[in-house]
Amino acid sequence: MGENGPECNFDRGCMSCGQCVAICPVGALDNKYTPLAEQRPVTMPLPTPEVAYEFLRMRRSVRNFKPQAPTDEEITRMLDVARYAPTAGNSQGMYYIVIRDKEQIRAIADTVANWMENEVAAGTENKRYFQVVLRAYRERGQDIIARNAPCLVFALARRLNITGVSNAEQSWAYAELFAPTIGLGTTIAGFIQSCGIAGYQPLLDLIAVPPKHKIVGTLMVGYPKYKYQRMPERQHLKVDFR
């Protein structure tokens, strides 16, 4: 606390999270990095645990899409929610590239298949899994890399991969939970994002990744072809209280 109120002290660990401003019950605290004027009051009650539980359990990875791509507005709405996800040290700064050109998406899937072939030839730990994917993709013509999605969203970050990748995962969690509320379906594109995170140059070139940026995640997005009638079951909860 300085003479004129709170001061941000980055040497002592302030990360401009704005929690001090958000918690003050009388709005007495302000902070130039997270101004009071930009913090909207919390007015909405939390959903009941029952509603929250059902909502979270209903989310599914959508792998069958209608051919039409989502609009700019819909994707922007989804990503606008994703930017409220937690980020390491409040680093934020995720940058998204949206691709809806069919031929470019096909070229991306092909490039990822080439990368997988290199990985198989190098005998990496994913070798056997990638062999199965490649057989389906190359020999049976099944697009299990991009799932014929009409839209791919790439998350890019300037931070070290490890922080950027974790931030992207959090960002996808928000996007994936929000998407169905505006009629969209999503699935994390694990093969594509692994290829991007590995820094495979042909993929970076194809997407024209700006200098100093890294691909830290990829999400498939589209209008779901099917409506889910049932919720998934999972392995039993395993927890040790010590």
Ligand X SMILES: Cc1cc2nc3c(=O)[nH]c(=O)nc-3n(C[C@H](O)[C@H](O)[C@H](O)COP(=O)(O)O)c2cc1C
Binding site for ligand X (CB under 6 A): 60-61, 63, 147, 187-191, 232
Least distance (Å) between residue 56 CB and ligand X: 11
C-beta of 222: minimal distance to ligand X in Å? 13
List all residues 6 or more positions away from 191 whose beta carbon is below 8 Å from its beta carbon.
112, 116, 133, 144, 145
**Closer residue to ligand X (CB): 34 or 194:** 194
CB closer to ligand X out of 37 and 56 = 56
What is the number of the residue whose Cβ is closest to ligand X? 190
- Give 31 or 164: the residue with its C-beta nearer to ligand X: 164
CB of 193 to ligand X, least distance (A): 7
In the complex, least distance from residue 158 CB atom to ligand X, rounded to whole angstroms: 22
Cβ-based nearer residue to ligand X, 188 or 209: 188
CB-based burial label for 136 (10 Å; 0-12, 13-18, 19+): middle
